[in-house]
Amino acid sequence: MPPRTRSAWLKTLGQLAMVLLAAAAIGMALGHPWQVVTCAALGVVAWHYWRLRRVLLRLTARQRLTPPLGDGVWNELDRLLYRGQSEMRSRKRRLIEMLRAYRAAAAALPDAIVVVDRLSQRVLWFNAACKPLLGMQYPEDMGAPLVQRLQPLPLAHWLAAGRHAETLEVPSPVNSSVTLSLRLIPYSENLWLLVARDVSRMLHLEQMRRDFVANVSHELRTPLTVVHGYLDMLDPEEHPDWAPMLAEMQRQSQRMTQLVEDLLTLSRLESQGSLPEEENIAMGAMLTTLAREANALSQGKHEVTVDDSSEGLDLWGGHKELHSAFSNLVSNAIRYTPAGGSVHIRFRREGSGAVLEVSDTGYGIPPNHLPRLTERFYRVSTSRSRESGGTGLGLAICKHVLNLHQARLQVTSEVGRGSTFSCHFGAERVRPREAIEVLP
Ligand code: ADP
């Protein structure tokens, strides 16, 4: 017990003893000591009941307590209650201020934020940005069913799928020239936060970047063809002194042409959200073409083998795109494998899908480079890539093509032993092989 409370307690006991002693003295003087002491004891009990009732009344009335004056247990109890009430009030004030600050911050955010009840999918709260971005009105839309309220947006399927990590890009229901990126964040057991962000500017900049790269590449194509043409016309035998320079100029102009072609392919792949044309891809013929290309590039310096263990499967997708992706892998395998090494191209079943694998016994790739390999112009060794005539875009192209086919690229590699690049296709991209396959 704290000292202050203990002294109040002792004081009250002392007062009780004094009252009883005084009553006994008066009682003895009157000749009825027990009766007077009993009356005094009853008086003390009644007074304590009265004080108890007063405390109960003050508590039930939820009144604001006043700081007590005086001492004794009842005043100490009043003091403790007053202190508890004051602490609770200041905590409540602080919490309300914090809540107001949070609400003000959420209301001031440029993104539209809607708090949604998970079970009923009804709107519980939304901020000011919901009006210009989602067309929501206060107070009419409070408690409205979210899917119905944002009607033209395809939310029902998205909410039902419950894939919260995925964003949904849709035109704003208020202004179709504004693109919104919607995200659903579950933030408690029963509540969702729907965040809608205006990404039109970002998309516009992205489009500008793509157009810029595509236009520059396109513009470079003609002058490069002209330079290339004139270089071809210069006969090194007529100008023996220039022969090394001419050879270098030809090599560099060829590299630039390849770079421009790869940039154009990449920007075409980026701008198309889906494949322009899908068809059955005869994998027997595809493997033969890849092997022929590998042999042409290797010029007999590598052993090239092909294995079709798919048990009669073909792929379904873009022929040109897939050929470009696979031949990039084959060309890398030849270019990053020293003479005398081998390259193995294999097409096999994997569950209900299929895998195309290109393995080599080349230089291999250190593990820290693997996660970044498909970035544009990312090279493990810049000098080796330049020497081998690489543009730094081959794997970026391959990844984009595979994305368009909902497929994924897997790379395993060991430095000094070689690498395996595998393209994994799902069941929807696999077809039984057609009976008659036209070989090239
Ligand atoms: P590049 O035109 O430079 O070959 P890519 O995008 O095709 O560009 O490949 C990126 C980098 O990945 C290459 O520079 C090379 O360092 C590495 N790489 C790709 N394939 C292989 C491979 N089969 N063996 C070793 N390294 C490879």
Mean pLDDT of 295-312: 93
Based on the fold, state whether residues 229 and 208 are members of the same structural domain. Answer: yes
**Is 431 in contact with 316 (CB distance < 8 Å)?**
yes
Same domain, 25 and 92: yes
Final residue of a domain: which of 148, 175, 198?
A: 198
Residues 328, 376, single domain; the answer is yes
pLDDT score of 57 more than 70: yes
- Ligand 1 within 6 A of CB of 36: no
Q: Is residue 440 part of a domain?
A: no
pLDDT (tens digit, 9 = 90+) per residue, 367-388? Answer: 999 999 999 989 888 777 777 7
Reported as type and span, the H/E element at residue 163 is: none
Give yes or no: residues 192 and 206 share one domain: no
Helices (H), 317-374: 319-335
CA distance 232 to 227: 9
Residue 398, domain member (yes or no): yes
Four-CA torsion 109, 110, 114, 115, nearest 10 degrees:
-20
Q: What pTM did the predictor assign? A: 0.67
pLDDT band at residue 142 under the 50/70/90 scheme? very high
Per-residue confidence (pLDDT) for residue 287, from 0 to 100: 96
Cis bond upstream, residue 223 (ω within 30): no
Ligand 1 centroid–CA 365 distance in Å is 9
CA atoms within 13 A on the CB side of 92: 6
Q: Tell me, what's the pLDDT at 78?
A: 85
Q: Does residue 332 line the site of ligand 1, with CB under 6 A?
A: yes
- Shortest-distance Cα residue to atom 13 of ligand 1: 379
Residue 222: inside a domain: yes
Q: Which residue's CA is minimally distant from atom 19 of ligand 1?
A: 332
Tokens of 44: 């003390």
pLDDT at 280: 93
Residue 210 lies inside a defined structural domain of this protein = yes
| The pLDDT of residue 146 is above 90 | no
Residue 435 has pLDDT above 60, yes or no: no
Work out how many domains the chain is built from and give that number: 4
Note the Cα 386 to chain centre separation in Å: 35
| Inside any domain, residue 24 | yes
- Shared domain check, 390 and 363: yes
pLDDT at 127 over 80: yes
Domain enclosing residue 131, as ranges: 109-198
Ligand 1 and 129: CB distance under 6 A? no
CA-CA distances (angstroms) from residue 297 to 192, 326, 332? 56, 14, 10
| 383: DSSP letter | H
Q: Where does the pLDDT of residue 307 fall: very low under 50, low under 70, confident under 90, or very high at 90 and above?
A: very high
Q: Please provide the size of the chain in residues.
A: 440
- Coil, helix or strand at residue 306: strand
Largest distance between two CA atoms of the chain: 153
155 pLDDT more than 80? no
95 and 124 share a domain? no
* Chain segment 68-108, per-residue pLDDT in tens: 777 788 888 888 888 888 999 999 999 999 999 988 888 88
Q: 398 CB contacts (<8 Å, ≥6 apart)?
A: 325, 328, 329, 374, 409, 421, 423
| 310 touches ligand 1 (CB under 6 Å) | no
Same domain, 330 and 353: yes
Residue 328 CA: which ligand 1 atom is closest? Answer: 7
Instruction: Tell me: do 97 and 190 sit in the same domain.
Output: no
**Residue 384: both structure tokens together:** 């080796």
* In-domain check, residue 437: no
CA distances from 241 to 81, 103, 228, 253 (A): 105, 79, 20, 20
Is the C-beta atom of 385 inside 6 A of ligand 1?
Answer: yes
Which DSSP string corresponds to 248-291?
Answer: HHHHHHHHHHHHHHHHHHHHHHHH-SS-S--EEE-HHHHHHHHH
Distance of CA 270 from the midpoint of ligand 1 (Å)? 21
> Is pLDDT above 90 for 310?
no
Query: Quick one: pLDDT at residue 184?
Result: 87
Percentage of residues in the chain having pLDDT higher than 90 = 52
Buried b (16+ CB within 10 A) or exposed e, 116-125: beeeebbbeb
- Whole-number Å distance, alpha carbon 384 to ligand 1 midpoint, is 9
Q: Best substitution site from 254, 266, 332, 398 to test ligand 1's pocket, by max atoms within 8 Å of Cβ?
A: 332
Choose the final residue of a domain: 271, 290, 314: 271
Give Cα 259 to chain centroid, integer Å.
Answer: 32
266 touches ligand 1 (CB under 6 Å)? no
> Among 78-82, 128-132, 149-153, 258-262, which stretch is predicted with the lowest mean pLDDT?
149-153
Average pLDDT (197-208) is 92
State the CATH number of the domain containing residue 219: 1.10.287
Q: For residue 163, name the pLDDT band (cuts at 50, 70, 90).
A: low
Mean pLDDT across the stretch 270-295? 90
Lowest-confidence region among 107-116, 292-301, 415-424: 107-116
Nearest CA to ligand 1 atom 8: 392
Q: How does residue 55 score in pLDDT terms, banded at 50, 70 and 90?
A: confident
426 and 283 in a common domain: yes
Residues 7 and 152 in one domain: no
Whose Cα sits closest to atom 20 in ligand 1?
332
Instruction: Let me know if residue 242 belongs to a domain.
Output: yes
Query: Is 70 exceeded by the pLDDT of residue 5?
Result: yes
- Boundary of a domain, candidates 85, 102, 119: 102
pLDDT, mean over the chain: 89
Q: Which atom number of ligand 1 is nearest to the Cα of residue 381? A: 16
Hey, what long-range contacts does 11-14 have (CB within 8 A, 24 or more apart)?
A: 11/71, 11/72, 12/72, 12/73
Query: Ligand 1 within 6 A of 179 CB?
Result: no
User: Is the residue at 417 inside a domain?
Assistant: yes
Task: Quote the ligand 1 centre to 380 CA distance (angstroms).
Answer: 7
Same domain, 309 and 404: yes
Same domain for 222 and 303, yes or no, is no
Q: How large is the C-alpha radius of gyration of the chain?
A: 41
Q: Is 262 in the pocket of ligand 1 (CB under 6 A)?
A: no
The CATH number given to whatever domain includes residue 373 is 3.30.565.10
Residues 6+ apart with CB under 8 A from 66: 82
Contact 363, 385 (CB under 8 A): no
